[in-house]
Structure formats: structure tokens, C-alpha cells
Amino acid sequence: MEDVVVKILERPELKNAILIEGLPGIGLVGKLAADHMLDELKAKKFIEMYSSHLPPQVAINDDGTVKLVDMEFYYWKDNKTDIVLLVGDFQGLTPEGQYKLAEKTIEIAEQFNVKRIYTLGGLATGMITRSPSVFGAATSKKLVDELEKYGIVFKGGGAIFGASGLLLGLGAQKGIEAVCLMGETHGQIIDAKSAEAVLEKLTKILKIKIDMTELVKKAKETESQMAKMSKMIAEHKKALERQQEFLEETPTYIR
């Protein structure tokens, strides 16, 4: 197999399209958001992208058949907006693979008249929050100024790994403006609450409406998980405090 194989199923006519990447990452925030968007918009698949840089396996379908793992592109159009969604269950296994897949994605973006890219992901803080903020990084100060109006937090420092970062950097080199939206998340749980926060910002930016009911249900499950985790952390902290008190009260002998 070649490094990257692109199978084009349809060639839709797209104008000034928006590419949204939602591949697996921290807390599965981007994937949850993009998958929900895909389901609600009933977008149509038009490209399958296969690669030897993806895991060497097939996925077993509900009917018992198998499918080679891939990344998939879907499109959706209305009177105002053309959207391309990039989804999948995996990212590239190596740095080289990440670059190869990102470069091919940019080529596809150019081919189908993408004018802006939004990559979606999570920002791990190690903290538990029930009202996650959405952080951003963009390829120009103009974009930063535009998106700050939506309550997205832009601050310096750090790095963005994988497709969510590379599509910004490689897109900028090709003259495609790009933004990464990152939902605040603990980092150790599947965080639908953070995905909900990211998707709420994105739909406002794009001026489209999406039913969030199912994602809200998943977000409530996340809240339950966070409550349990918070309780465990509190109990562990109390246990450590009791242990420390015991050690301080226990007499010691110097021989």
C-alpha cells in the first residue's frame, strides 16, 4: 500500500467551504463534537483516506463484515455554508505518519475550495470543572480578534500535537486560515461536557443550528464521572491528611 491512498466517492461543488477536523485526542473532545455534528447534519461521505500510517487492523461492523480503518470526509451544504467534516477512529501512529496524513488533508482542502479550517480538541488541565472554558489558537491575529468575541480564550504558551496542530501549521503555509478550538478537560476521562462546550462555540461561529440533545445526555454522564472522580480525590486527600496527622502525633525515638 502507498503511504496515503485517497478514494474519492463523489466530487461535490463546494464554495468557500469550512473544514472541521474531529479526530481522537485528549478526552475524545474533538471526536465527540465532530461525530455529533456529523449525525445531526446527516452529512454525506465523499472521500475515504487509507494509509499504512494508521493502525494495522480492520474494524468489525455490526453485521459481522470488516472494514479497513481509514479517515473519512463528509460534506454538508445549505444556502449559506458549505462544511467538510474530517472524522475517524485513529490518527497517524508516528510523527512521519501524522505529517503525511495532514499534508494529504491540506491537498484535499485545496482541491475542494476550503477557505478556513477548524480543528477540535481538548486542553488537559488535570482539574475537574463542570463549566469548561474553550481555548483557542489561530494562524493570525485577525482571527484571534474575530473569535475572542465569542468568548473563546486565547493565551500564549504550550503546543498542539497531532492533526489539530499540524493542520494549522501546514494550512497557514498554503494560505488557508485555521483555528484550533480546545475544550477544557481533566484529560483522563472521555469528556462529552467539554465537547458540548466546543460545539456550542463552533455552531455560533458558523451560524448554524444543531440539536444538542444526545450530546447533552452524554455530557450528563461525564458530570457523573467527574463527581465520582472528585469524591475519590477528596477521600484520598482526607486519607493523606489523617496519615500525616498520625505521623505527627506518633512519638519517635532517636538511638
| 219 CB-contact burial (10 Å; exposed 0-12 / middle 13-18 / buried 19+) | buried
CA distance 217 to 122: 19
DSSP 26: G
Which residues on neighbouring strands pair with residue 124, listed in sequence order? 185
Residue 67, judged by CB atoms within 10 A of its CB (0-12, 13-18, 19+), counts as: exposed
Residue 19's DSSP bridge partners are 84, 117
What tens-digit pLDDT sequence spans the chain (255 residues)? 789 999 999 999 999 999 999 999 999 999 999 999 999 999 999 999 999 999 999 999 999 999 999 999 999 998 889 999 999 999 999 999 999 999 999 999 999 999 999 999 999 998 878 889 999 999 999 999 999 999 999 988 899 999 999 999 999 999 999 999 999 998 888 888 999 999 999 999 999 999 999 888 877 776 666 566 556 655 655 666 666 665 566 665 544
Domains in the chain with CATH codes:
4-243 (3.40.50.10900)
Q: Which of 95, 102, 82 is nearest to 23 (CA)?
A: 102
